Structure 1
Amino acid sequence: MFFSASLTNAATPLADYFTDTWSTQDGLPHNSINAIAQTSDGYLWFATWEGVARYNGREFRFYERSTRTGIIDSGTRALVSDNSNGLWVAGARGGITYRGKNGWQPQLDAKSMVNYLIHDRDGNLWVAVEGLGVFFRPNPDSLNHQNDEVWVLKNISAYRLLEDSQGRIWAATAKGLFHLNGENSKEDILGQHGLPSLQVNSLLEMPDKQLIIATNKGAYILSKENIKPLHDEIAKEAITTLMLDSSGSLWLGTINKGVMRLTNGIIETLDTQQGLPNNRILSMLQDLEGSIWIGTNGGLMRLRNAPFTTFTKDRGLVGNYVRSVMDIDQDSVLVGSSEGLSVIKDNKAQNALADTNSSLSVLSFGKRKGGGAWVGTYLHGLMYWQNRVLTPYLDQQDGLPNNEIRAVLEDSQNNLWIGTTNGLVKKAPDGEMRTYSSEQGLPDNYIMALAEDERGQIWVGTGLGVTVLSEDKVSRVPIHSQEGAGYAFGFWVEPGYVWITTDRGLIRYRQQDGQLSLVGRSTGLPIDKLFQVVYDGKDGLWLTSNRGIWRISYKAAHSIANGQQQNIAFEHFAESDGMASAQANGGSNPAAVATPDGRLWFATAKGVSTVNSQDVSKKSTLQLPIVIESLSVDGRPLPFNKQAELPANTNRIIFNYAGLGYVMSSRIEYRTRLVGFEKDWALRGKSTVAEYTNLAPGHYQFLVSARYPYSDWNTAEQVFDFEVLPHFWQRLGVQILFVLLVLALFAGAMYWRLHRLKQSEIRLKAIIDKQTHALRQKSEDFQRQANEDDLTGLPNRRAFDRLLSARFAQVKQDNTQLMLVIMDIDHFKKINDNYSHLAGDKVIQSLAKTLLRLEGTNVHVARWGGEEFTLVIEGLDENAALTYCEALRKSIEITTYKDIAPGLVMTISMGGAFAHQAEHYQDLLKLADQALYRAKDRGRNRIELWHDDV
């Protein structure tokens, strides 16, 4: 018989979890983890024999025996959290205390060690006591409250208590299972169903209301009708603790067999052979992020869903040192290592050869049109794999320069290209072989990478550069121009571009003009040497290196290569993300591959690491809990109670805070804002400290927010209000009194001079009025000259720059439309040459008058310089804005200018771009200017809008 839980999410295979362990060497006070709890603020709590440890993702804080906490002995057995961010703590010597919003609240001690307790829905406290039984303390606010302590079970060791969804109280004891608020509270439930007296260690209510009972001889399911074994395979196991995870899997801790997980009738095990600190399980918990915490007798383990999972020899690979990986069908990948060939299918790895005794060092793979795969080896030349058999094909005796094959390519014309460390061989379909080396124009004989582009050209990566072969013509690609790049480790080809991984970063080659561009250290990547580039089909370029895997945006990489962006953002993955080794291998191909199911596979120095690119691209929806952990003022700790008054001589305030996320604690990013001092958020990176010095007297509010990389910031609910008091002389009343005193002294002195100054006043007033008028006139002239074009009266370039900057920022904030148009009078030089410069000025003035009539709330015009003008049009979409500009163009074209000169005709060319296409208003000017040049190139007297695909 077995129990089958209904799944709410797909259960992660135990082998795919990434594990972390802690012991006393890592900061725990003791290695026995008796209980685990998580309070609603996000903190994790661990009960040990040397006190309670609170964990924030970076460090442990201990709570031991003290009068402040009410913990009377460091030995702690029970931790129970509630929905009010409270925590019940109990243990040795009967100590019971509660930590809530008002701090620690010690309770009356029990008579012996407390194993567990619960606070039921009516406010009664139930306590399980070692050797004595179970008692409850009625809710002191209850009308029926009569006694401080009511014993419901006596002279028995009680280990666990449970209040089920129906309000029934259950006790797991050394002599069976008891229903404490039922009719027969003194009778063992197991005995009532014909079972022998068993020690019950733990209880768990399932979503279907059934009760799981963990005993020293298996586990049972109790329903309304009967009781039956949970699963035949665990019938004789001593089960210590139970947990149901969010996917519906049931976790069972044992006395000496580690952890068992039951999913859809299938049992998986986790013990010391898989890294568990100890096989005696004392406690388990699934935290708010879905990680599984396991407390043992020898330390703490966490199982978490890391982005990467890794296949090694422990999971069925033939060898750990993997040099090449390639997909062979929809469901399978081929893995080449220093010890042979493996195939991974349906999340399982096995030997790819029927002859499992066969062993060879594999370097490279190539797609084979005849089925199977080409296999390049270290010592045995080129072979091919098909139907689990490896067959020799070509080696040095057949004409290869040597037997070390680092790249293989079967091209669209059925030519077979073989890259060796001593030259490149081309084998034609008719069997003819031709060798290319440095004598035929290759930069180097050491061939590491081969690729075919959409033009049928063969790209060759060597240790000294890149060569392109087209109809046997050899052309070098000068990658050395990109900061001295030499090694070309790999290629990725897309229509119009070839991406090259080198020892100086990622280089893009543009097919239309041969332009090379570098994404490397100069653009923000912290590493030079990149082995492979893989595109995930969304917006991710994944780069492999000796120092892990780097993910950058595909669009951002193109923007940098086009000169439209300065720096690249990246995400780095290494051992803490599930890779067994951060050293990804290169120098032979393919060392990384993307499969149709969205997974990426990477060859590393310890196995094959794989990641689901779609999962990584998803933003975390979890709002990270964040807490202010401590506050110090001028070096002295200050109790944190949400608000405080600080003395006038306060010089330094330091806040310590923490985001309570445990999946990637070291990657949590922070920002802070001190309202009253800072207008905007200050990005703190990964720092958990904010320091402020010499704050002026006044009221302040400290806010802190956190997030995982590429996710949304949390809502910054952590707020600390405080006020810095002023010095005596800074107080408003004192300052007012001082001012009044000074005024009184001056009033007496000024009074006797008043009469003497009356006559001078009239004369001085007249002089001042005259000078003021002159200065005002000059100021107005200067202001007008600074912001107005003398010829047209329109705003000049300086004024327009200010307006565009302000309007651009506003529409970005409001998410509204803004179009910038730069226009130019066509063939203006001919107007000057044919009709005189005076006529040219009148043409400019005429166009300015036309544009001035357009000026309004949503349209702004300016003279940009010479014969160029600008328009800012707000609130119109692309079609409406294009119609508006086209009407303006036609109006100018059909207007007669015979009053300026007979036969004079004026047309204009316009280029436009929208605010949503640029990150900065200066970028918007560049885009509009490019569109204007496009309009001129395409015949003038037209409008062109900027599009990045043109």
Structure 2
Amino acid sequence: MTAFFTAILFFSSIKAGEWTSLLNSNRIYDIAPSDEGAWCATNGGVHFFSLEDSSFTLSFRNTDGLPHNTSRAIAITQTGELWAGTDLGLALIVPSSGAARRYQGISDTVFSLALSGDTLAVVTKTGIYIIRTMNTPGSFEDDDVFFFTPENSQEYSIRKAAWFMGDLWMATSIGLLRYYLNGDSTQWYAISKGLPSSDVADVCIEESMVALCSKGFARYDADSGFFKTVYAFQDPLPQFTSIAEAGDTFYVSTLGISGTYKSLFRYVESLDTLDTIGFWINASAGTAPHWMRTISCVRTDASGRVWAGASGEFAGDGLVVWDVKKNRVKVVDNPGLNSNYIFHALLDDNQNLWTAHWFAYNERGVTRYHDGHWENFIYRAYTENDTVDFDASTKITAVDSKGRVVFGGWWGGRGVTRFDPVAGAWEEHSWGASPVSNRVSWLAVDPLDRIWVSIFYSNQLRVLSDDLEEIAVLDWPYDYVWDLKFDSSTLWAATSAGLISYKPQDFVSDLEHGEFSERLLTNSKVTGIALDGRGGCWGATNEGVFHWTQNSTTRYNQNNLSMMENDIVDVDRDPWGRLYFLMKHKGLLVHDPAGAAYDTSAGLWQIFTTSNSSIMPGFDYTTLSADRTGRVAIGTAGGGVSLFTMPKYTDTTSEKISVYPNPCYASLGLPVRFTPLDDAQSVVIYTLAGERVAEIPSSGFRTIQGVKQAELGVQNLSAGLYIAVVRFAARSERVKFVILK
């Protein structure tokens, strides 16, 4: 029997704790040097590197007001504020306040910013905004804004913009575009105007303007209106990314050139000499020492320092600070995740967050986060294991009753590895030397600390004892395994075929003989499951959520739960019975079947999205983990991890708050009164069915003889039992009352 349930929805019941965004911030898109250091626009927010502290000392992320954590462009105002262009629009950072303000009306990806006095040019995917801030950047209301789209702009990409000679110059994939601000007209510069080639990657402005192209860089001559080549590249292979000038020396960054990872050109014009420079990374972010792989941007400051930022897809090598005069180089990484691409997240019982990653150059890795401290492990598929004696190419993690963390390998041919955080010891079990035999698609730990392992496309489940010895091999007649859970005697599996259970004849001593049951076969794969504690099972699919019991199956989807997205990628359950469903695009859906964690006696649904919370914006959600303390971790496909804490459940039936008259006769016309309400924020009234009847905010309280109270008119209410929830800053209390006619 399948049931379809129409839910009563409440949108303001849950009060989550503070949100934290955990990120890799070592892929640097832009750098803005200052006297004290440099601001960096990164894949993990905007950060300030202090020369005095020789470290990153300020950070701004979505939890601080940024629209998105990928920031591709920054510009410092004359009064010390910072404009930040992100993948979801523009923001103004005020460092002294520790907050960022979103600029309304711009929500596209911002690729470049150009600031001249009080005029800001914002290059987005759809066009260019020109904002005149009237020398009051912190006051958006008086800004003069206009928008224009260059002709045929869909045929090329704008890579960088800069102000020069009062006009806006834009480096594009087909030439250099000049926009005459006063005349509202444009002019193109390409090979016919002296550029070495038509594809322009960057421009730098010092005393003159220099344009960087794929075949060299050239200086603009205002008298002739033409460019003159400064240097023509001989090597056609490098992909040049940016250019900076200091005196008669030019620095050009690349995404890889001929030679051994030397990714920076230096050209001295007065000597007509060119050399290539590489930067050695000494164990940055937990990796083995290596050359900085690619550089996305290079800048110089007034003291002649060179600042270079690493490139990468979901990670990078950090920031280079090169004091050329003293010939001192410092490479700094910002502590954080190995990568922002999260395959799997696990909150263990020792307050650790473990994340399994993927990032560029065939590398995978694991990050361990505990109370602000980071430990990173990296595995390189085709070279060597960099940092630890285990397979950090893992995609899967699990934890046993002793707090030991179990990893399933992917590339390294090492099968299963287990880490004991207390002893600091590593153990492993592998099935031969072949990586194919040790590629784990999923694993889980049962109540006896045995490890059940699904080998990728092997049609088998293998079981390891607490001593990591193989004790059982089960033929697996079903498709790919996406999740495994256990009750006291049964294995439950989320598979591409549906919900499957396996009950051994003896769960302690005979695992290889037992019965498979096809509990629910679906047209779509089941990506995650959570046992309900009463013999049933909740499941996540790309067609919504199901709750299977012995008697029926109830389904929830967009048809009967409007806030839901059908594509559910993961599910978890906390000790208080709350269920967490991770939607691929919209965010987190929370269901409390008993109402215990909220403030009524009825089951409730609640949604967390970017519009009502600080959940990570702009990326698909991939993985979910809830622990025994109320912490919830949400992983993304490129955006890192959102971490927050749900309130613990305590019995909130109040013995301090009185309700009178109780029962209350509606026919008498008297209100119900609640008192005392000192320090209370509101009183919310519900029926037993969970229907929200009324809310009395603190502004509606009355003070009688020095005691605050609230009154509820009952003339229009039906007879029955009601629940009043009195909310305080850190708790809620409940009282029951009866209305009679």
Please state which band the TM-score falls in when normalised by the shorter chain.
Answer: 0.3 to 0.5
> What is the TM-score with the length of structure 1 in the denominator?
0.32
Q: Which has the higher helix share?
A: 1
Higher-strand-fraction structure = 2
